[in-house]
Amino acid sequence: MQNTTIKNIVIVGGGTAGWMTATALATVLEGQYEIRVVESDEIGIVGVGEATIPMIQRFNQVVGIDENEFLRETQGTFKLAIEFVNWGKQGDRYMHGFGTIGQDFGSLRFDQYWQHMRKLGKADNLAAYSITRMMGKANKFMPARQDMPNSPLHQIAHAYHFDASLYARYLRKIAESRGAMRTEGKIVSVSQREADGFVDAIILENGDRIEGDLFIDCSGFRGLLIEQTLHTGYEDWSHWLPCDRAQAVPCESAPELLPYTRATAHRAGWQWRIPLQHRIGNGHVYCSQYVSDDEAASVLLSNLDGKPLADPRVIKFKTGMRNKTWNKNVVAIGLSSGFLEPLESTSIHLIQSAIARLIDFFPDQSFNAVDIAEYNRQSRFEYERIRDFVILHYKLNQRDDSDFWKACAAMPVPDSLQHKIDLFRASGRLLRVDNELFTEVAWLQVFEGQNLIPERLHPLVNLQTGADTMEYLDGVREVVQKCVAIMPGHAAYIAQHCKARS
């Protein structure tokens, strides 16, 4: 039988996407394939992906990364939540905390009982029952206790903030130690097979030709192979997510090391604040139709905790996704596959899940069309569901202080999102389809935080007496408070376990 195994994998680009892919493939393929990363120092990387979601722990486990070493190497901190400021109305503040809230009680999920008592004016804010939100507020940290399944300590879910450039450097060391090779150089042209248009080689400025069977396009926004070579096309979602620029600037650290990202809404966009050990990462994501670059820079600079450590730099983007993220023998991973603004810190997760999917559908020389179609279907589903969750934050605003926010509140949204909003508004029901990324609890926190109150609730909430429900809710709140009280502070935990060397 003919051997149809592919041999050479070429990864175009050495940003977060390129080195995450190289590390994962070098680990999983156990040296059986040749893996080469081609990157250009002259072009550089985006290097602003600094906040993540808890699934990144899984990536680190699969590639065998020790958490403490990783945080030391990347000046990282822990992340338990995102705090949203000024999103519902100006002055509003709420958190989307990671992990679950409450435990089984009666025949329904926690949220229906909580909403019932909340409507009667008896229950506390949702935050009081969420361990990660209470830890965030108290500036505490400890990892989940896997040995205590019935405790809120088991519900702690954490992610990280880290310096993306240091992460890429750290991963490069690991990938190279497992056999991945690196070529420094600028790609100036791409060669395709005449018969079917498959990419067969890339050509560098110095004339070197690098051949491959499978090409992974991690070249960032330019999409060197997936778009510039294969003209795959891009679906533009900026009518739903109109922000099209960001300016990023690091600043000096603040005295308190917060274990959460902050997203503060401004006149026509929002600003992120990501605390690292050695500095704070900041950026203003905005809509250029409503705000000039100069005004955006001045808003950013006037909302920093400390002295800026550089000049703000402008990054332009168009929200959307590639029509196909796998086309012929090219798989686009990272910014080359699409872009969703970092409001829920999902880009690095999209890299990770694309890698997992690539491993699931790993090709041979036949590049089977059915497998590729399924890969593309799954990518699209994932992108669209995250897109809906991000749009929700814009749609559900009650701000009347700017044309931008009024336009967002009035815009029609995708049917899939409108359905979820309608369902929650009608009966407080939360829908999670096919294991999509964001859980019911995540949706609940945004609905509540941005003031959408259901008209009715599930009729079965009445099967429990009010007294029983309140006893249960009070119990959850009390245990959460007790757990948080005994935890170490976030800065103290880092100092003890994972302080960076400089």
Distance CA 126, CA 123 (A): 8
What is the SS3 string spanning 403-414?
HHHHHHHHCCCC
* 355 belongs to the binding site for ligand FAD (CB under 6 A): no
215 close to 330: Cβ distance less than 8 angstroms: yes
Identity of the amino acid at 500: A
| Site for ligand FAD contains 347 (CB under 6 A) | yes
Structure tokens given for 245 = 């620029």
Piece of 82-90, 235-243, 294-302, 344-352 that binds ligand FAD (CB under 6 A): 344-352
Does 50 interact with ligand FAD (rule: CB under 6 A)? yes
Secondary structure of residue 241 in the 3-state scheme: coil
Contact in structure between 45 and 209 (CB atoms under 8 Å):
no
And the tokens for 442? 């995540």
Instruction: Give me the catalytic one of 7, 79, 122, 406.
Output: 79
Q: Active site includes 79?
A: yes
DSSP letter at 415 equals H
Tell me the window of 8-16, 77-85, 104-112, 148-156 that interacts with ligand FAD (CB under 6 A).
8-16
In the region spanning residues 76 to 105, those forming contacts with ligand FAD, defined by CB under 6 A, are none
What are the structure tokens assigned to 92, written together? Answer: 């509003």
If one asks whether residue 144 binds ligand FAD (CB under 6 A), the answer comes out as no
Q: Please tell me whether residue 379 adopts helix, strand or coil conformation.
A: helix
Cα 498 from Cα 500, distance rounded (Å): 6
Q: Which residue has the tokens 């699934």?
A: 55
Binding region for ligand FAD (CB under 6 A) out of 128-136, 139-147, 212-220, 393-401: 212-220
13 binds ligand FAD (CB under 6 A): yes
| Rounded Cα distance, 101 and 429, in Å | 16
Report the residue from 10, 11, 36, 52 that binds ligand FAD according to the rule CB under 6 A: 52
| Selected binder of ligand FAD within 11, 22, 35, 38 (CB under 6 A) | 38
Q: Which stretch binds ligand FAD (CB under 6 A): 98-106, 192-200, 331-339, 377-385?
A: 331-339
Compute CA distances 310 → 172, 249, 263, 266, 300, whole Å.
Answer: 26, 6, 21, 22, 12
39 near ligand FAD, judged by CB under 6 A: yes
CA triple 361-31-44, angle to 5 deg: 80
* By the rule CB under 6 A, 112 interacts with ligand FAD: no
Fill in the amino acid letter for 344: E
| Cα–Cα distance, 167 to 130 (Å, whole number) | 30
Residue 285 Cα distances to 142, 206, 289, 414, angstroms? 31, 38, 12, 22
Using rule CB under 6 A, residue 452 touches ligand FAD: no
> Of the candidates 190, 218, 442, 457, which one interacts with ligand FAD according to CB under 6 A?
218
Closer residue to ligand FAD, CB minimum distance, 243 or 484: 243
Which residue in the set 187, 265, 392, 413 belongs to the binding site for ligand FAD (CB under 6 A)?
187
CB 42 within 8 A of CB 242: no
* By CB under 6 A, residue 269 contacts ligand FAD: no
Pick from 46, 156, 276, 430 the residue near ligand FAD by CB under 6 A.
Answer: 46
Judge contact between 208 and 186, C-beta under 8 A.
no
Residue entry with tokens 């699209």: 380
Among 11, 15, 96, 391, contact with ligand FAD (rule: CB under 6 A): 15
Task: Give the DSSP letter of residue 155.
Answer: G
Whole-number minimum distance, CB 342 to ligand FAD, in Å? 3
CB of residue 39 to ligand FAD, shortest distance in Å: 4
Output the smallest distance, CB 172 to ligand FAD, in A.
10
Stretch that binds ligand FAD, among 147-155, 304-312, 341-349, 389-397 (CB under 6 A): 341-349
| Smallest separation (angstroms) from ligand FAD to the CB of 218 | 5
Please list the active-site residues: 79
Binding site for ligand FAD (CB under 6 A): 13-18, 38-40, 43-46, 48-52, 164, 186-187, 218-220, 222, 224, 246, 248, 283, 315, 317, 334-336, 342, 345, 347-348
